[in-house]
Amino acid sequence: MKIGLLGASGYTGGELLRLLESHPDFEPHFIGAFTHAGEKIINLHPQLVGYGDQLFDSMNISKANECELLFLAMPHGESAAIVSQISGEKKIVDLGADFRLEESDSWKKYYGGEHAGTWVYGMPELPGSRQKIAASSKVANPGCYATAIALGTFPALSVIDASDIVVVAASGTTGAGRSPKVTLLGSEVMNSLTSYKFGGVHQHTPEIEESLARIADTKVGISFTPILAPMPRGILATITARLAKDISSSSLRDLYRNAFKGEEFLSLLPEGMMPRTASVVGSNYVHVQVALDEHSNRVVISVAIDNLGKGAASQAIQNANIMCGLKQDLGLKTYGVGV
């Protein structure tokens, strides 16, 4: 299949190109960028030596329309304008936020401007999602934090108070994008941790609440504090929620085993083994640990993902595989780096 990638010069675009190079059925045909059009791909993604002297294309909609499947890897607010120029029958996976939210008021509050609409939400492991993705030609790829938090929380929804979920999650600096910022300079982030978008204003908050509310069939409330970690990539999320029902530790683990059964990318780790970001970097895998805090009567969940992998590029390819009737793990069976 001819594949198009719009917004290929960013970190997510580079990860998509890395994965697409070894995908047996997806062949990059159009690799578009904005300000970096005409530059060599390897100048911005020096790891991608297989692309040789190939250049980034300008954002040529005619060439994009030659493709059967398109990945949009652009900042929020930009996908909607591009989509309006693309032939309606094309399959599209949007890695931006434009089509993730159901509530227009939430879009206006957290992003600003007019809400572009809602596409099928592309988190295949959530109950009922895979069938919707397979039947759709337009899929909204989830945010990185939203992926870690929703996948770590949904198995416990039947036993927790969903209105009282507290999350503290640390992400690598690539989660902030490639645009230069003083706060992301190496001298600023090394040997330091800092919270940001503090006090419930992070834009992934409504996305997490909506994705979990569809499963719980009740209102979900998230208190979310993100942290910038001094590493390039990876997310480690710690989720706690008050118990609404009595449950033993073994029964809680059974909930997760049953929810993850048959899901090759979701792993409930053995007791005593904790998720590590290094174990999932470069992969589509999700590592989860869960425990009961009997002192506070809360469930505690730890989740590790790669923010550029399962949090972005590899999940987008997983969604595309499903949309195209292919095995969902095609091109994605690589384990994390580990060290």
Specify the amino acid at residue 76.
H
Other C-beta atoms lying within 10 Å of the C-beta of residue 135: 10
Whole-angstrom CA distances from 65 to 33, 85, 87, 279 are 15, 9, 6, 38
240, containing H or E segment: strand 235-243
Contacts of 138 (CB under 8 A, 6+ apart): 91, 92, 94, 99, 119, 120
- Nearest by Cα to 93 from 337, 306, 312: 312
Under DSSP, the state recorded for 61 is H
CB 251 within 8 A of CB 194: no
CB 322 within 8 A of CB 315: no
Tell me whether residue 324 is one of the annotated catalytic residues: no
Collapsing DSSP states into helix, strand and coil, what is residue 162?
A: strand
Q: Which two tokens stand for residue 168?
A: 């503290």
Q: Which two tokens stand for residue 274?
A: 């904790």
Residue labelled with tokens 């005409």 = 38
Catalytic site residue from 3, 74, 120, 144: 144
Find the length of the chain: 339
Helices (H), the chain: 11-21, 41-44, 61-64, 79-83, 104-110, 129-134, 144-153, 186-189, 205-216, 249-260, 314-323
- Nearest by Cα to 146 from 319, 310, 320, 327: 310
Contacts of 246 (CB under 8 A, 6+ apart): none
Residues tagged active-site:
144
